[in-house]
Amino acid sequence: MPAGEDAMDVRNPLLQDWQTPYGLPPFAELRPEHFEPALHAAMQQHRDELAALGANPAPPDFDNTLAAFDRTGRRLGRVAATFYNLTSSATSPELQAVQRNVAAPMAAHHSAVYNDASLFRRVAALQARCETLGLSPEQQRLLQRVHTDFVRAGAQLAPAAQARHAEVMQALARLMTRFAQNVLHDESSWQLPLHGEAELAGLPDFVRANARQAAVDRALPGHVVTLSRSLIVPFLSFSTRRDLREQAWRAWTGRGEHAGEHDNREVVRDILRLRNEQARLHGHACYADHALTDTMAGTRAAVQQLLGQVWPRALEAVERERQQLLAVMRDEGVAGEIEPWDWRFWAEKVRRQRYAVDDAEVKPYFELGRVVQAAFDCAQRLFGLQFTARDDIPVYHPDVKAYEVRDAGGTVIGIFLQDNFARPTKRSGAWMSSLRWQHRNAEGGGRQLPVILNNNNFARGGAGEPTLLGLDDARTLFHEFGHGLHGLLSDVTYERLSGTQVLRDFVELPSQIFEHWINEPEVLQRHARHHQTGEPIPPALVQRLQRAQRFGQGYETVRYTASAMVDLAIHALNDTEPPVDVCAWEDELLQQAGLPHGVGLNHRLVHFQHLFSGGYAAGYYVYLWAEVLDADGYGAFTEAGSPFDPAVAEALRRHVYASGNSVEPGAAYAAFRGRPATVQPLLAKRGLVPEAAAA
């Protein structure tokens, strides 16, 4: 009988062996009340496993300490993964209550694991003689990463500091849960009904269809604009009703900034205060310094150098774009400033006039099902993968589609779940997650199949109508699918090193490099077909899309870089008390940095889930860091003369997608590319050098 089994309620399906295809969770049997007792029982089982490991009288060696540690907590991992995927993708008031209840106990359990003195003594003893143990490179990497995990969790702190560190982490877990639930409340509770043709003015058919379906989903008549990005961005781009655009923009940017129960302003301050204390406990002056010690960048100076290379060029680019927008405004007799709710509207007009690209013309060629098949086809041509739909695999919502994934030899290598539509019970954004990581560190040494999820938030087409994506949405799907491939293609021995469990500023490389294929004419000609006629996208339209590709990059780069600068700056504060008014502090910082009026930023602090309910605090820069790698890395295909060159694809698979965290990321990239990355391809890709902007 496994440790802790006698404490388990046999009526709880979470605590049984799952007799489902490929051992997926039995979602149809699960109820919110199952999770809290299951998590506590699984934590107890994990503690029992670790107690046996720590009490082992044999001297520590790799197998009885590191490999054994990597095998512990598997039941807890599967229950927690199931729970957190549901609270992100298909939540309910009951699940949210459980989430609040278990936030602190789960954080306390993590602290207890990594503050276990007997365990750390064994790990530290191995780390001290790492060079003499005769370990393989992957084993050395596991030892280094596990030792780092212990240290960063406070294992080396004095007892009083260690206890306080655990308290801080529990408080942070509660606050980050509250932050995320506050944002979801604001996103799911706001809606803008559109009454009659006057309020639908300017909206193309696809936006009207999405707004009509959003109303149906909420049991409302007519058309409704929600805060789903795939609906609000097109609304801001096409609606001729400036007053309604302003309402929508203010709701979108005001999430988390409302007095009352769901106000995130004080939550942000509490999180910042605790993170500052966490950093000081580790001997760092500020949280940014603490967070960056375990990244490729390593220091604030390295991040600031990258942002400093991009920010002034982005400001120049966005000013060139502003002048184009102003010229169209003046031609149409519109005076005054470009306000934040105007920029996308006038940019769409410039795109149509200067590049003859109209989103309403483009979208019919990007039906969701065809874009999914395009991603699958690229994975097959690059890596030999085959995706087969399986209706018998359990899923947690009717929107979710399950696929069995096989390699070129026909061997099943993983299960892929894709959940593409926005729902009121689903958090915003797009993300990859896992129900199970690939590894071979199990009895018998066989390969554990990964179960990988992609979540998007596309606005669903109306009943009987297709879901049409803009090119940006298609890129998002390819981006998350790149993360998914990182999990599916993982080929490592130890679970701790599997898939996307890499340094934060490397994790976006596999996703961002995969975005390149949706822009390839060869891919577009094969898969971008009109949803009504089946005709392929005209070559002339592809050429226009390529010419227009750099338009708007100044706007997007400024918005992204501004958010990264705010993130780094607020986590670099070393005062005990954070700013009294974080929104005013944010505005002042951006004004000093020269953020142009009307542009805005990707995420304001009060709804910045990457920072305050995710793992990107002091790390939002990583998308830009990884883009240096992806722009430089895709050049290997360009130099080879084909986006599907077999030799380059194999090097990409082996050194980037398959290696997980088994290799130091700088070395992994150099092994793929044959050299370190350079920044020039990024600047050219974003049109941040004059010759590229003019091309």
**Interior CA angle at 504 toward 446 and 373, to 5°?**
65
Residue 550: CB partners within 8 Å, gap ≥ 6?
686, 687, 692, 693, 695
Burial 545-563 (b: 16+ CB within 10 A, else e): beebbbbbbbbbbbbbbbb
pLDDT tens-digit profile of 530-559? 999 999 999 999 999 988 888 999 999 999
pLDDT tens-digit profile of 190-242? 999 999 999 999 999 999 999 999 999 999 999 999 999 999 999 999 999 99
pLDDT value for 177: 97
Mean pLDDT of 129-150: 97
- Please list the residue range(s) of the chain that carry CATH number 1.10.1370.40: 5-156, 364-548
pLDDT value for 694: 40
SS3 category, 469: coil
The CA distance from 380 to 362, in Å, is: 26
pLDDT value for 6: 44
pLDDT higher than 90, residue 117: yes
Q: Which two three-digit tokens encode residue 123?
A: 């790990």
CATH topology of domain 292-355+551-694: Neurolysin; domain 3 (1.10.1370)
Residues catalogued as catalytic: 480
- Please list the residue range(s) of the chain that carry CATH number 1.10.1370.10: 292-355+551-694
pLDDT higher than 80, residue 445: no
Per residue, the 3-state secondary structure of 102-147, as one string, reads HHHHHHHHHHHHHCCHHHHHHHHHHHHCHHHCCCCHHHHHHHHHHH
Q: Which listed CATH number (2.170.120.12, 3.40.50.300, 1.10.1370.40, 1.20.1250.20) goes with 364-548?
A: 1.10.1370.40
pLDDT value for 446: 82
pLDDT higher than 70, residue 244: yes
pLDDT tens-digit profile of 627-676? 999 999 999 999 999 999 999 999 999 999 999 999 999 999 999 999 99
Closest CA to 552 of 352, 330, 370, 270: 352
Give me Rg for the CA atoms of the chain. Answer: 25
**C-alpha distances out from residue 564 to 271, 307, 365, 568, 623, Å:** 18, 8, 34, 6, 9
Q: What pTM did the predictor assign? A: 0.94
Residue 235: CB partners within 8 Å, gap ≥ 6?
203, 207, 211, 225, 244, 245, 248
Arch. (CATH architecture) of 5-156: Orthogonal Bundle (1.10)
pLDDT tens-digit profile of 465-508? 999 999 999 999 999 999 999 999 999 999 999 999 999 999 99
Indicate the residue type of 185: H
pLDDT higher than 50, residue 692: no
Residue 379: CB partners within 8 Å, gap ≥ 6?
385, 387, 481, 485
Q: At residue 518, what are phi and psi to the nearest 5 degrees?
A: -70, -15
pLDDT value for 550: 85
pLDDT tens-digit profile of 352-374? 999 888 888 899 999 999 999 99
